[in-house]
């Protein structure tokens, strides 16, 4: 499949729509899960624990799905199964209210949800072949989906009630199911399980460049956890209107879209190490500003614009690092390690810590200053990545 064929262009459009559908759902599930749990009557410590439990399943899920994908030799069936299972489980969540049952259901949803994005990333990079610079444009479809849903979600939940969260998420999953059903499996997305040298893979994982890269990204995700868990709830507590909350969340992703338009060329032009360091430095500033100036709408606008670097540029640089660091036969495993440890482990640990320090909003300043400190440590970890 080459970039000149109609099939390649069609696959690129479908990949972009798949990202659109995935992140449209994420625009509801990430910022508003804390709001939903608060509406069920859980206190901040319990909210942190529930989000941590959910996030922990992102550690277990990616390696399991990657291993299944290696043996199966196909990734699209896993993606489709993840979408269908998530939809069914979200519908089941509408009937649950106790701490234990909600924790179990959120864990199951997270486990099946984790089958989608890592495999979709591998399918995308495998479909692009030598045209890796197109990744950022395709991934931008996800940012657009996030913006659209983020703008309307606060109003939908205000109209239908915060407890309508699982039902709205299930409805949003339908377009994603259609999009991934139309994708074609790339011929070179992965090697068979027998072609993977386990010893060489783990030797590569243990090397200093990857360890420092993982540590820096882990610390970044720890810092993001209070933002994901409590930002929308925090703005509600500060008296911001639902449309303002949705608008601020969407603004951050709009900045992300602009960055994705140029990130493809940027990550090729500059060393990944320096890009990671820069993104971590400005993100530390972002959390420190959020700790001090959340009551000012003008400051919040500037803080949200930094999301272009905190996520979009950092993610593009990280994807380039992982894709170049591992050979083709190890891409799926490399993605799984990256997603499970950094996003799963970092997100879970950060959510648990944020739940302890948040104290129904009274500890917001302390929580975000801790996030700034974690990101600063991540900066030094990125600086320790060897230059070559």
Distances (CA, A) of 142 to 23, 138, 231, 254, 382: 5, 8, 21, 11, 27
| Residue range 286-300: mean pLDDT, rounded | 96
Q: Is the pLDDT of residue 348 over 70?
A: yes
- The whole-number pLDDT of residue 98 equals 93
Mean residue pLDDT of the chain comes to 88
Biggest alpha carbon distance in the chain?
57
- Give one word for 52, left, alpha or beta, with left for phi > 0 and alpha for psi -120 to 50: alpha
Q: Is the pLDDT of residue 66 over 60?
A: yes
- The whole-number pLDDT of residue 388 equals 65
- First-to-last CA distance in the chain? 32
Q: Is the pLDDT of residue 190 over 60?
A: no
Q: Is the pLDDT of residue 1 over 80?
A: no
**Confidence at 192, pLDDT banded by 50, 70, 90:** very low
Q: Pseudo-torsion of CA 201, 206, 210, 215, nearest 10°?
A: 130
| Residue range 58-76: mean pLDDT, rounded | 82
Q: Which residue has the tokens 């060897």?
A: 386
Highest mean pLDDT among 9-18, 248-257, 296-305: 296-305
Distances (CA, A) of 369 to 23, 109, 249, 282: 28, 31, 20, 14
**pLDDT of 25-59, one tens digit each?**
998 988 889 889 998 999 999 999 999 988 888 77
Residue 317 in contact with residue 276, Cβ under 8 Å?
Answer: yes
Q: Give domain limits for the chain.
A: 11-185+198-383
d(CA 90, CA 177): 14
Range of weakest confidence among 125-139, 221-235, 291-305, 355-369: 125-139
**pLDDT of 98-108, one tens digit each?**
999 999 999 99
Q: Give kind and range of the element (H or E) at residue 255.
A: helix 242-269
- The whole-number pLDDT of residue 314 equals 94
Q: Is the pLDDT of residue 371 over 60?
A: yes
- The whole-number pLDDT of residue 188 equals 54
Six token digits for residue 383: 């600086």
For the chain, give the percent of residues with pLDDT over 70: 96
Q: Which residue has the tokens 């803080």?
A: 303
The DSSP result for 118-138, as a single string, is HHHHHHHHHHHTT-GGGHHHH
**pLDDT of 117-149, one tens digit each?**
888 988 888 888 778 778 878 888 888 898 898
Q: Cα 159 vs. chain centroid, distance in angstroms? A: 27
d(CA 61, CA 293): 37
Q: Give kind and range of the element (H or E) at residue 363.
A: none
- Using a 10 angstrom Cβ sphere, with 0-12 exposed, 13-18 middle and 19 or more buried, the burial of residue 64 is middle
pTM, two decimal places? 0.78
Of the CA atoms within 13 Å of residue 118, those in its CB half-sphere come to 36
d(CA 219, CA 314): 13
Residue 14 in contact with residue 79, Cβ under 8 Å?
Answer: no
Nearest to 325 by CA among 173, 217, 171: 217
d(CA 217, CA 310): 11
Six token digits for residue 365: 């300043």
Residue 277 in contact with residue 383, Cβ under 8 Å?
Answer: yes
Six token digits for residue 160: 């239908």
Kindly report the backbone phi and psi dihedral angles of residue 43, in degrees, each rounded to the nearest multiple of 5, phi listed first. Answer: -85, 170
d(CA 66, CA 145): 26
CATH 3.40.50.150 fits 11-185+198-383, yes or no: no
d(CA 203, CA 62): 20
- The whole-number pLDDT of residue 2 equals 47
- The whole-number pLDDT of residue 68 equals 86
For the chain, give the percent of residues with pLDDT over 90: 50
């Amino acid at each position: 499949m080459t970039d000149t064929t109609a099939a390649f262009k069609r696959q690129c459009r479908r990949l972009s729509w798949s990202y659109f559908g995935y992140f449209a759902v994420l625009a509801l599930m990430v910022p508003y899960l804390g709001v939903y749990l608060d509406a069920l009557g859980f206190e901040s410590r319990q909210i942190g624990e529930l989000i941590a439990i959910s996030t922990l399943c992102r550690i277990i899920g990616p390696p399991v799905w990657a291993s299944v994908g290696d043996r199966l030799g196909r990734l699209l069936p896993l993606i489709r199964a993840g979408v269908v299972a998530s939809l069914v489980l979200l519908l089941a969540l509408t009937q649950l209210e106790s701490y234990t049952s909600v924790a179990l259901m959120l864990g199951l949803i997270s486990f099946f949800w984790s089958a989608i994005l890592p495999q979709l990333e591998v399918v995308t990079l495998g479909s692009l072949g030598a045209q890796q610079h197109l990744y950022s444009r395709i991934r931008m479809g996800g940012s657009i989906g996030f913006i659209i849903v983020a703008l309307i979600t606060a109003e939908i939940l205000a109209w239908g009630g915060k407890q309508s969260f699982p039902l709205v998420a299930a409805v949003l999953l339908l377009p994603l199911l259609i999009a991934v059903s139309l994708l074609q499996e790339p011929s070179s997305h992965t090697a068979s399980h027998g072609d993977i040298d386990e010893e060489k893979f783990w030797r590569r994982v243990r090397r200093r460049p990857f360890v420092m890269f993982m540590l820096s990204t882990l610390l970044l995700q720890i810092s993001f956890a209070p933002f994901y868990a409590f930002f929308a709830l925090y703005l509600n507590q500060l008296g911001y209107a639902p449309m303002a909350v949705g608008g601020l969340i969407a603004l951050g992703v709009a900045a992300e879209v602009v960055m994705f338009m140029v990130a493809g060329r940027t990550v090729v032009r500059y060393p990944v190490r320096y890009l990671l360091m820069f993104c971590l430095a400005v993100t530390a500033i972002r959390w420190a500003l959020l700790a001090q100036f959340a009551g000012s709408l003008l400051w919040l606008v500037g803080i949200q614009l930094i999301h272009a670097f905190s996520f979009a540029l950092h993610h593009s640089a990280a994807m380039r690092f992982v894709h170049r660091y591992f050979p083709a036969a190890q891409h799926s495993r490399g993605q799984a390690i990256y997603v499970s440890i950094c996003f799963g482990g970092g997100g879970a640990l950060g959510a648990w810590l944020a739940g302890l320090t948040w104290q129904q909003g009274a500890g917001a300043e302390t929580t975000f200053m801790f996030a700034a400190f974690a990101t600063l440590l991540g900066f030094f970890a990125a600086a320790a990545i060897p230059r070559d």
